[in-house]
Amino acid sequence: MTRIAVLVSGSGTNLQAIIDAVDTGVLPEVEIAIVASNRREAHGLKRAIQAGIPVTYFPLLPYTKAGRPRADYDRDLAHILSSFEVKWIVMAGWMHIFTDAFIRHYPERILNLHPALPGTFPGTDAIARAFDAYQHGEIDHTGVMVHIVPNEAVDAGPVVAQVEVPILPSDTQASLEARVHATEHRLLVQALRQELCGSR
């Protein structure tokens, strides 16, 4: 059994996709050991509690208020997760960039989901930025990727799964967001099945 930690900052729809895949046997031999969030009101925590999964709320603010370095936060979070015997980290809408103080605890075992293709729109608001680029005639598609996090670079690292998402003439930003998010759910489960279950 491969024990994973899922890290969320928001609604947790990608977490729900993983929960459903585990429950239905799509991700055999995978167990969500803990769900962590840096935001108390993240709906992802409620999803985890409803599914009977342990949760932890671990905010950065107390560290910054105390003048403590970011590495302290990352190291302490890694310590918490290690107590749950976690083998893999899945960043599913986690809105923090980890330092090496966290990454070194899980070398080549941190997966990040990003709603853009490799090398495009790193960081926040990727879908909105892609839609804006489309409106300016710069692109005709965007996409979703899942990649390994080997270092502190933002939304960069070896890609394990990716798929293009076309931007349609009839699209609004909201309709594009809905299609990208639906694609995220499928691709994340596919990537987990490939990397953790050996299914390609």
- The pairing of strands 2-8 and 30-37 is parallel
Q: Is 88 helix (H, G, I), strand (E, B) or coil?
A: strand
**Is residue 58 within 8 Å of residue 94, measured between CB atoms?**
no
Give the chain's end-to-end CA distance (angstroms, integer). Answer: 18
Query: Could you give the 3-state DSSP secondary structure of residue 31?
Result: strand
The answer to whether 147 is a known catalytic residue is no
The gap from C-alpha 16 to its chain's centroid, in whole angstroms, comes to 12
Active-site residue among 105, 114, 147, 185?
114
Q: What's the residue count for the chain?
A: 200
How many CA atoms are closer than 13 Å to the CA of 96, on its beta-carbon side? 22
Catalytic residue numbers, as ranges: 114
